[in-house]
Amino acid sequence: MALIDMQHVTKTFVVDRDWLGRPVRQLTAVHDVSLSLAAGETVGLVGESGCGKSTLARTVLGLYPKTSGTILYKGKSVDDEATGRAFRRHVQMIFQDPYASLDPRMTVEDIVAEPLRNYHLERDKADLRCRVTALLEEVDMPAEAAQRYPHEFSGGQRQRIGIARALALSPECIFCDEPISALDVSVQVQIVNMLQRLQHERGLSYLFIAHDLAMVHHLSQRIGVMYLGRLVELGPSDALYHDPRHPYTQALIAAIPRPDPHYRRHDVLAGEVPSPLAPPPGCVFHPRCPYTQERCRKEVPLLRDLGGGRLAACHFAKRGDAV
């Protein structure tokens, strides 16, 4: 049984309303996405900016109300009050921006202790302070940092504080929403190594959202690829990275820089992502796809099982063959 099971999750935002308040124009940011996450597993989620990765994570966590779909936690719907409360406690999030995600008016101690206070887990002030100190040390921050404010720290240190806050309730799963994209490369490596260590020590599951497919390949057991709100490919990390079945995934991998002066990139993705307010008919990727045929312009491809845990939403993806 999956720890978290997302079934046909859709999130639509109302863009315009008429004078009676009725929706007249809507934007579907996440369209019919199904994805599961097992205990102790890391699932990577990649795609261009605006493809719906972060919106999916926020919708699953309840930061945005879902438009439709079902979210199960240990086989039970999070719409159930008791299951939903357990889900909100045991599934936490690390946000992308370490500068905007911490309240500048609160000390680090108050920031890390806030989840513990909300769930009434540490009522004694001395015990609470000891717990905060232990969490900071777990993310390689000194105990004296507890009495300082976020503006006194670098971006990497702020992200460590955010990770300590996410760990406060002893979660089973953490959604990592591009947690390293705003950091220097050397700091990125430190944060990634720390996340792997914490996963090993605590048995955590991760949904790791990022643009860097090479980094996601290094971290994840499975990878999902999103395009214009849809999941277009899903599969084991090594298989997807070395033998992508969807043309969009192929283009993302072809665009990865390589430390070889003689390597010539090919099939690099051209054009811009269409507006989600007016998605193309048929396959939403067909205006940018080098393999487009008439069927692609008219018929929406389903996410098909290609065997070996591989799924791809392409009319011409075949078992055992690249597109």
pLDDT 10s digits, 180-201: 887 888 888 999 999 999 999 9
Instruction: State the pLDDT at residue 191.
Output: 93
The owner of tokens 């049984």 is 1
Q: How many other CB atoms are found less than 10 A from the CB of residue 256?
A: 13
Tell me what percent of the chain is helix, strand and coil, each rounded to the nearest 5. Answer: 35, 25, 40
* Beta carbons within 8 Å of 175's beta carbon, 6+ residues apart: 57, 60, 61, 91, 92, 93, 94, 206, 207, 209
Instruction: State the pLDDT at residue 321.
Output: 46
Instruction: State the pLDDT at residue 120.
Output: 86
pLDDT at 110 > cutoff 80? yes
Average pLDDT of 79-103?
A: 93
- Domains and their CATH numbers in the chain: 4-258+265-303 (3.40.50.300)
Determine if the pTM surpasses 0.85: yes
pLDDT 10s digits, 33-65: 999 999 999 999 999 888 999 999 999 999 999
Query: Which tops the pLDDT comparison, 108 or 262?
Result: 108
Average pLDDT of 211-225?
A: 92
pLDDT at 234 > cutoff 60? yes
pLDDT at 263 > cutoff 70? no
Give dist(CA 237, CA 200) in Å, integer. 19
pLDDT 10s digits, 269-317: 777 888 888 899 999 999 999 899 999 999 999 999 999 999 999 998 8
The answer to whether 44 and 219 are in contact (CB under 8 A) is yes
Give dist(CA 239, CA 307) in Å, integer. 11
